[in-house]
Amino acid sequence: MDANKLQSLRHSTAHLLAAAVLHLYPKTKLTIGPAIENGFYYDAAFEKPISEDDLPQIENEMKKVLKTWKGFTKREVTEKEAKEIYKNNEYKKELIDEIVKRGEKITLYKIGDFEDLCRGGHSENPQKDIGDFKLLSIAGAYWHGDEKNPMLTRIYGTAFPTKKELDEYLEMLQEAKQRDHKKLGKELDLFVFSETVGKGLPLWTPKGSAVRRVLERFIVDEEIKRGYLHVYTPDLASLALYEKSGHYPYYKESMYAPITIDDEQFMLRPMSCPHHFELYLSRPHSYKELPIRFAELAKMYRYEQSGELAGLQRVRAFTLADAHIIAKVDQAEGEINKVLDLIEFIAQTFGLEHGKEYHYRLSLGERAEEKKYYKDDKSWDKAEAVLRKVLKNRKSHFVEAPGEAAFYGPKIDVQMKNVNGKEDTAFTVQYDFVMPKRFNLTYINEKGEEEQPIVIHRSSIGAIERVMAFLIEHYAGAFPLWLAPVQIVLLPIADRHAEFAQEAAKELRNAGIRVDADIRSERLQAKIRDATLQKVPFMGIIGDKEIAEKAISVRKRNGEDLGQLKIAPFLEQLLQDIDKKI
């Protein structure tokens, strides 16, 4: 089924939901019910709150109603008529005002005994097209998404042309729930939130921090190997810097309010570009130095609505693996190629396949929109051609997205698919010909003249928080050995074996292994179960025999038994595997 038809089917099912709700709760005030990416929802003001326990009953009613449905009929009404129909529904009246303001016609669609204010887009034969549907959840949603408005009840559901497709989707949802990084983050003790610290501000536990540290070291080391110059610049900067870059006031909505220090205003930075440009400007540069690749694990602060915050996926303070490559125009192609090499290398290390877990999108400028795009057709043409050429030469599959570029130039978006099948721009590689002008970045060319470089803004992996959320779900919490917060846990069988376990742990820790010794006076089976639940890659069991042999009996988290191994050679093997990022 094509996307439009599927959307009409789901939109029609939203009508079905509304009809059933009115049958069961006649005093409900309906508002809007659109189709969304994986289904539909309807927002309504219920007289009394309902819960997810009520969903099966609503579903049953929907099934009954569907049997009576033939097809949608449409009528057009005047503003006065529409307001009379919805005289008791202030939400619909507001919608009518909005329709009138936009100069559109007011249309009502009727099917069975239910009529709704709607602009159309339904299945021609809902009874035939709606193969199967399911109501999934209930959430609170502010009217028009504004916290100052009343809170409505949103019922989410989905519908498919066949029962088989619905079942497959529900199974995927179930699997995704198991892998949900918020759930696993709690169970595996990786990060927490504190009401007192604030929303969208994660606290990383020692275990989560261990994973993060490994991840960050890996990225920094790899970038340094590839010629990046890693730097540190402050999270805070004078408001004047963002006025110079143009982020203020244009990007104001995403920034936090200025902080006044000694009569001067400062901003928590939403991006690090201007800091890196100022670093570049601290002394003159020759063409021989270019490209200069400034990289930083840069802390940033961007405003996100509280309703948008989601675990580590959407936060209000995050760390971007950021870099700015300042290059001569003729170096751009080679540099972008190298950036994509790096991105693909890192992705490969995590077992992510290009074309499967992620793909490229070439975002182009819609030049006619002069407010959104910097006016310089020649530079746009050149930049877009370079990016397209790089992708074509690499034989990378990509889609083009007109109108998705940044203000200052086109970009390659790295689109990631999460376990829910939802696709998102994870990070980007941008070609910028505007900021060098604005900051007056220059270098001295071969002829001794000043020339303007271009800037490539890029990330190698995106925001650390987001990557962590992604990796937790990707591995379902079972991190590979090199990333695991605890790589091996030693399990003494009885209390008398605890001392040896602690000594062995010390030896492994000294060699750089992340090791725990579980010296609780629990039964071995209980200790094995706990370590398995914590998804620790290796368990080392220690009893009398092992102590006599200076060995441990090694078990993998999948239950595989490696038998009794001497500590020294086992350690050697572990270190080799970690080095290979297994």
Nearer to Zn ion, 118 or 528 (CB): 118
Q: How far is the CB of 488 from Zn ion (least distance, A)?
A: 40
Write down the least CB distance from residue 582 to Zn ion, Å: 34
Write out the DSSP string of 404-447.
-SBTTB-EEEEEEE-TTS-EEEEEEEEEESSHHHHTT--EE-TT
- Nearest in space to 236 (alpha carbons), one of 201, 259, 277, 267: 267
**Between residues 296 and 473, which has the closer beta carbon with respect to Zn ion?**
296
Contacting positions for Zn ion (CB under 5 A): 118, 273, 457
Amino acid at 68: T
At 558, list the tokens: 């999948």
From the CB of 116, what's the least distance to Zn ion, in Å?
6
- Report the C-alpha gap between 222 and 339 in whole angstroms: 12
The angle that helices 332-349 and 377-393 make with each other, rounded to 10 degrees, is 50
Tell me how far, at minimum, the Cβ of 157 lies from Zn ion, in Å. Answer: 15
3-state SS, residue 324: strand
CA-CA distance, 212 to 231, in Å (whole number)?
Answer: 19
- At 106, list the tokens: 């007011």
Cα separation of 157 and 175, whole Å?
18
Which of 188, 343 has the CB closer to Zn ion?
A: 343
Alpha helices in 251-304 (DSSP H): 273-280
Q: Which residues of 94-131 are buried (b: 16+ CB within 10 A; e: fewer)?
A: ebbeebeeeeeebbbbebbebbbbbeeebbeebeebbe
Nearer residue to Zn ion within complex by CB, 116 or 180: 116
**Minimum distance between the CB of residue 38 and Zn ion, rounded to whole angstroms?**
18
- Of 118 and 387, nearer to Zn ion (C-beta) is 118
505: its two tokens: 């742990």
Between 362 and 455, CB nearer to Zn ion: 455
Contact (CB, 8 A) for 443 and 283: no
Decide: 491 and 541 in contact? Cβ < 8 Å: yes
Give CA–CA dist 569/249, Å, rounded: 61
CB of 442: closest distance to Zn ion in angstroms?
19
Tell me the helix, strand and coil percentages in the chain, rounded to 5. 40, 25, 30
Q: How far is the CB of 245 from Zn ion (least distance, A)?
A: 9
Q: Are 38 and 193 in contact (CB under 8 A)?
A: no
Based on CB atoms, which residue is closest to Zn ion, 457 or 527?
457
User: Smallest gap, in angstroms, from Cβ of residue 296 to Zn ion?
Assistant: 10
The least distance separating Zn ion from the CB of residue 454, rounded to whole angstroms, comes to 13
In this complex, which beta carbon is closest to Zn ion, that of residue 20 or of residue 273? 273
Task: Return the biggest CA–CA distance within the chain.
Answer: 92
Name the residue nearer to Zn ion (CB basis): 28 or 123.
Answer: 123
Work out how close the CB of 74 gets to Zn ion at its nearest, in angstroms, rounded to a whole number: 10
Residue 33: closest CA among 147, 165, 121 = 121
Non-local (6+) Cβ contacts of 282 within 8 A are none
Distance CA 18, CA 61 (A): 11
User: Residue 245: what are its φ and ψ, rounded to 5°?
Assistant: -75, -15
Nearest distance, CB of residue 4 and Zn ion, angstroms: 14
Q: Measured from the CB atom, is 276 or 535 closer to Zn ion?
A: 276
CB of 322 to Zn ion, least distance (A): 6
- C-beta of 122: minimal distance to Zn ion in Å? 5
C-alpha closest to that of 410 among 343, 457, 452, 461: 457
Complex with Zn ion: residue 169 or 439, whichever CB lies closer: 439
249 cis-preceded (ω within 30 degrees of 0)? yes
Closer to Zn ion at the Cβ: 118 or 508?
118
H helices of 299-376, in order, are 332-349
Q: Which is nearer to Zn ion, 273 or 491 (CB)?
A: 273
Q: Would you state the structure tokens that stand for residue 26, as one six-digit string? A: 């006649």
CB of 324 to Zn ion, least distance (A): 6
Between 32 and 386, CB nearer to Zn ion: 32
Q: 331 and 268 in contact (C-beta within 8 Å)?
A: no
| Tokens read off for 567 | 């500590």
Residue 330: C-alpha distances to residues 290, 384, 576 (Å): 11, 14, 41
What are 195's two structure tokens?
């009401």
> Closest approach of Cβ 9 to Zn ion, in Å?
12
The closest of 531, 546, 553 to 497, measured between CA atoms, is 546
* Cβ pair 59, 43 in contact under 8 A: no
Residue closer to Zn ion (CB basis): 11 or 557: 11
